[in-house]
Amino acid sequence: MCTVSGSIFLLLCCPSSSSSSISLVCCYSNTIAKRRVGNGISHLSAATATCAMAKDVWSRTCGSSSSSPIPRESGSRRQQQGTCLDRSVDMEELLAAIGETQNEDELYAVMSPYSGRQLSMRFMVSLLSREPDWQRTLALLDWINEKALYSPSLFAYNVVLRNVLRAKQWLLAHGLFDEMRHKGLSPDRYTYSTLITSFAKHGLFDSSLFWLQQMEQDNVSGDLVLYSNLIDLARKLCDYSKAISIFTRLKASTITPDLIAYNSMINVFGKAKLFREARLLLQEMADNGVQPDTVSYSTLLAIYVDNQKFVEALSLFSQMNESKCPLDLTTCNIMIDVYGQLHMPKEADRLFWSMRKMGIQPNVVSYNTLLRVYGEAELFGEAIHLFRLMQSKDVPQNVVTYNTMIHIYGKTLEHEKATNLVQEMKKRGIEPNAITYSTIISIWEKAGKLDRAAILFQKLRSSGVRIDEVLYQTMIVAYERAGLVAHAKRLLHELKRPDNIPRETAIAILARAGRIEEATWVFRQAFDTGEVKDISVFGCMINLFSKNKKYSNVVEVFEKMRQVGYFPDSDVIALVLNAFGKLREFDKADALYRQMHQEGCVFPDEVHFQMLSLYGARKDFMMVESLFEKLDSNPNVNKKELHLVVASIFERADRLNDASRVMNRMNQRAIRSHDPT
């Protein structure tokens, strides 16, 4: 029987239900209360697990049923379904009648004319798939199994599972899965694909990976589409560790990644700052018969530029040309920027003016990038000519175009021309942004007109313009350069109680200004109120505490980061391992290293070397030797640096014989590699 407490509990557990669905909870709770979550509590989120432990839902009363799996129907029973009324029943009318029901008794009454299984299972599955309300589909599934006594159908369960997951009823999804097994049904690829993708789409990656692991244990083969979708979801959520873990599982399943999967992983490795692994993927692609395309190269080029690895970008561009891979607009724009960063304005100029010959029409990004290259090379005449050329050829200009020109006038100390450009862009309907104003403030400050800069800043604050991190920092620096330290401190103090800027922005400003106490106070306040949603804020605070040797605080922020479900990148892992080492918490460092490795994370050499050093500090030389041998067999690890790190660990511990052994091993390997015989 349904109880009031059970209905209230269901309302608490299912906050995502629509209002119409919630109104039916009490009515259909007889059906829902029959089921309970199986053994899947450990892989649910903490909140869901708490709900599951608070009260059993989805449990079957075992009055007449056996605890053993329910067998499939016998052949004679199936023969009773030989005569079907599918064509004589109007499905639309039946669906409308079901939609009018308010409880399972009413639904059973609607379905009672067909309790002799006059309708085929195919018809019933179609009926389930077209019923939009997840609670009615559950009740209809119970009628199929318990009243009409159809043979358990995997197709029916898959449809109901899909409906339940669409309604974000995670507990019931686990219960349905357990019930399928109880009835002797084996989940198929569709079952697992539905579970994996549904949990992943809502950021529940731990649960998603649990289902992936279950699928692999059941020897149900996933396909490339499933793995690729998971990788893409993890990438979009910036959970690069999970994406790498899934990619590792994909390759372990003997499925060869396709071009889309490889290109996605180049992006993932790059975002995780695993640049060597990203570049090695290009060779792996060729080895597997997957030819890198323009997207492959441009993705890695963009990653190099984002991380200021311009020499590597130039090398990759040469490789791209050697492979006869065609250029596109994105690649050309990136390389114009690279040439500028490497102080090669002539090459940038040559590439820009040759784009049309290659059939590539330059866009506003192309013009803006070359404009900046001219400015940084102090080719002011060329910059002004290009700026006016854009206007004469009706090339659309944007706020970046004007900001670049304002910056160029600032370099020539022509502050009036810079100010006039602000008026010009407004007349042309281009709204100045924070960078525009911060550039003007900086120009006025350098021109000795701090009073104008301060007045503009105050006007912006009072006008409601969003004061971003750049603008705030520009004004703070302007005050400090002018010797007005008190004014700078006042701005920093205001950030402790931000009223017109997001707290995440305030945290970033305070952290980069080195204001530990203020940044910590704002961070804790923002975290407690759920305002910290950007993973970079956690990284910013971890960097701040690490630089200032606040190792306990590093661990505190890291634990908060994991608490909200974010996974660290390799830089954060390195800082946290270092913090654990400084705190002499070697077991926690070891646990973190192993956990990330089991998740499929690919570490840069620095993280491996740091773990070796921590083992050495703990004087666990057996683990040093073990990890040393494992890394020495890894073709992606720099062997020379590895041997030097291990030798220095033994030397610091006065194990000179071991240090000598490691160095001799390195030297002998070097001799063999140069031996022509």
Q: Is the pLDDT of residue 372 over 80?
A: yes
**662 located within any domain:** yes
**Residue 639: its pLDDT value, please?**
82
SS3 assignment, position 465 = coil
Check: CB of residue 637 under 8 Å from CB of residue 607: no
CA 126 to centroid of chain Cα atoms: 36
**Residue 507: its pLDDT value, please?**
78
DSSP type of residue 358: G
**Percent of the chain, pLDDT > 70?**
80
**Range 367-396 average pLDDT:** 89
Question: Cα-atom radius of gyration of the chain, to the nearest Å?
Answer: 32
Choose the weakest-confidence range: 117-121, 176-180, 364-368: 117-121
Check: CB of residue 567 under 8 Å from CB of residue 239: yes
Closest C-alpha to 605, from 266, 274, 271: 274
Rounded to whole angstroms, the Cα distance separating 405 from 370 reads 12
**Residue 482: its pLDDT value, please?**
67
Contact residues for 263 (Cβ-Cβ < 8 A; gap 6+): 293, 295, 296, 299
Rounded to whole angstroms, the Cα distance separating 556 from 579 reads 11
Tally of domains within the chain: 2
Choosing from 408, 440, 473, the residue where a domain stops is 473
Q: How many CA atoms lie within 13 A of 84 on its CB side?
A: 12
**Range 72-79 average pLDDT:** 38
**Residue 465: its pLDDT value, please?**
64
Q: Is the pLDDT of residue 69 over 80?
A: no
Q: What is the band of 56 on the pLDDT scale with cuts at 50, 70, 90? A: very low
CA 592 to centroid of chain Cα atoms: 20
**Residue 676: its pLDDT value, please?**
53
**Residue 265: its pLDDT value, please?**
93
Q: Is the pLDDT of residue 607 over 70?
A: yes
**327 located within any domain:** no
Closest C-alpha to 219, from 241, 186, 179, 244: 186
**Residue 215: its pLDDT value, please?**
84
Residue for token pair 């919630």: 22
Q: Which is more confident, 138 or 676? A: 138
Q: Is the pLDDT of residue 32 over 70?
A: no
**Range 549-563 average pLDDT:** 87
Q: Is the pLDDT of residue 17 over 70?
A: no
Check: CB of residue 301 under 8 Å from CB of residue 270: no
Q: Which is more confident, 218 or 78? A: 218
Check: CB of residue 371 under 8 Å from CB of residue 386: yes
Rounded to whole angstroms, the Cα distance separating 100 from 286 reads 60
**Range 391-412 average pLDDT:** 86
**619 located within any domain:** yes
Q: Which is more confident, 206 or 66? A: 206
- Which H or E run includes 396? none
| pTM, 2 dp | 0.57
Contact residues for 105 (Cβ-Cβ < 8 A; gap 6+): none
CA dihedral 63, 65, 69, 71 (to 10 degrees): -170
**575 located within any domain:** no
Q: Which is more confident, 6 or 92? A: 92
**614 located within any domain:** yes
Choosing from 440, 473, 506, the residue where a domain stops is 473
Residue ranges of alpha helices (H) inside 115-223 are 121-130, 134-142, 154-166, 170-182, 189-201, 205-217
The 3-class secondary structure across 72-134, one letter per residue, is CCCHHHHHCCCCCCHHHCCHHHHHHHHHCCCCHHHHHHHHHHHCCCCCCHHHHHHHHHHCCCH
**Residue 672: its pLDDT value, please?**
67
Check: CB of residue 7 under 8 Å from CB of residue 26: yes
Check: CB of residue 217 under 8 Å from CB of residue 205: no
Q: Is the pLDDT of residue 77 over 50?
A: no
Q: Is the pLDDT of residue 81 over 90?
A: no
Q: What are the tens digits of pLDDT across the range 488-516?
A: 667 766 665 655 566 777 777 777 766 67
Check: CB of residue 550 under 8 Å from CB of residue 571: no
**373 located within any domain:** no
**Residue 452: its pLDDT value, please?**
76
Q: Is the pLDDT of residue 663 over 70?
A: yes
Q: What is the band of 281 on the pLDDT scale with cuts at 50, 70, 90? A: very high
Structure tokens at 334: 């990136």
Q: Is the pLDDT of residue 4 over 60?
A: no
Angle at 439 between CA 436 and CA 441, to 5 degrees: 110
Q: What is the band of 78 on the pLDDT scale with cuts at 50, 70, 90? A: very low
**Residue 327: its pLDDT value, please?**
94
Q: Which is more confident, 461 or 556? A: 556
Q: Which is more confident, 344 or 27? A: 344
Check: CB of residue 400 under 8 Å from CB of residue 372: no
Q: Is the pLDDT of residue 340 over 60?
A: yes
Q: Which is more confident, 608 or 490? A: 608
Q: Which is more confident, 337 or 633? A: 337
Q: How many CA atoms lie within 13 A of 284 on its CB side?
A: 18
**Range 219-245 average pLDDT:** 80
Q: Which is more confident, 418 or 278? A: 278
**Residue 11: its pLDDT value, please?**
29
Q: What are the tens digits of pLDDT across the range 311-321?
A: 899 999 999 99
**Residue 62: its pLDDT value, please?**
31
Rounded to whole angstroms, the Cα distance separating 497 from 484 reads 22
Q: What are the tens digits of pLDDT across the range 610-626?
A: 888 888 888 888 898 88
Angle at 159 between CA 209 and CA 31, to 5 degrees: 100
**462 located within any domain:** yes
**Residue 364: its pLDDT value, please?**
93
Q: What is the band of 264 on the pLDDT scale with cuts at 50, 70, 90? A: very high
Sequence-distant contacts of 385-392: CB under 8 A, at least 24 apart: 390/364
Choosing from 409, 441, 473, the residue where a domain stops is 473
Q: Is the pLDDT of residue 27 over 60?
A: no
DSSP type of residue 40: -
Rounded to whole angstroms, the Cα distance separating 509 from 231 reads 33
**654 located within any domain:** yes
CA 44 to centroid of chain Cα atoms: 19
**Residue 614: its pLDDT value, please?**
87
SS3 assignment, position 203 = coil
**Range 277-296 average pLDDT:** 92
Q: Which is more confident, 498 or 376? A: 376
SS3 assignment, position 187 = coil
**Residue 652: its pLDDT value, please?**
84
Sequence-distant contacts of 190-194: CB under 8 A, at least 24 apart: 190/158, 191/154, 191/157, 191/158, 191/161, 192/218, 192/220, 192/222, 193/222, 193/226, 194/158, 194/161, 194/162, 194/165
Contact residues for 639 (Cβ-Cβ < 8 A; gap 6+): 632, 666, 669
Q: Is the pLDDT of residue 148 over 60?
A: yes
135 burial level (CB within 10 Å; 0-12, 13-18, 19+): buried
**Residue 10: its pLDDT value, please?**
33
Choose the weakest-confidence range: 129-133, 239-243, 617-621: 239-243
| Mean pLDDT, rounded, of the chain | 78
Containing domain of residue 442, as a range?
Answer: 397-473
**Residue 19: its pLDDT value, please?**
36
Residue ranges of alpha helices (H) inside 397-534 are 399-411, 415-427, 434-446, 450-463, 469-481, 485-494, 503-512, 516-528
Choose the weakest-confidence range: 2-16, 369-383, 402-416, 647-661: 2-16
**Residue 7: its pLDDT value, please?**
32
- Which H or E run includes 261? helix 259-271
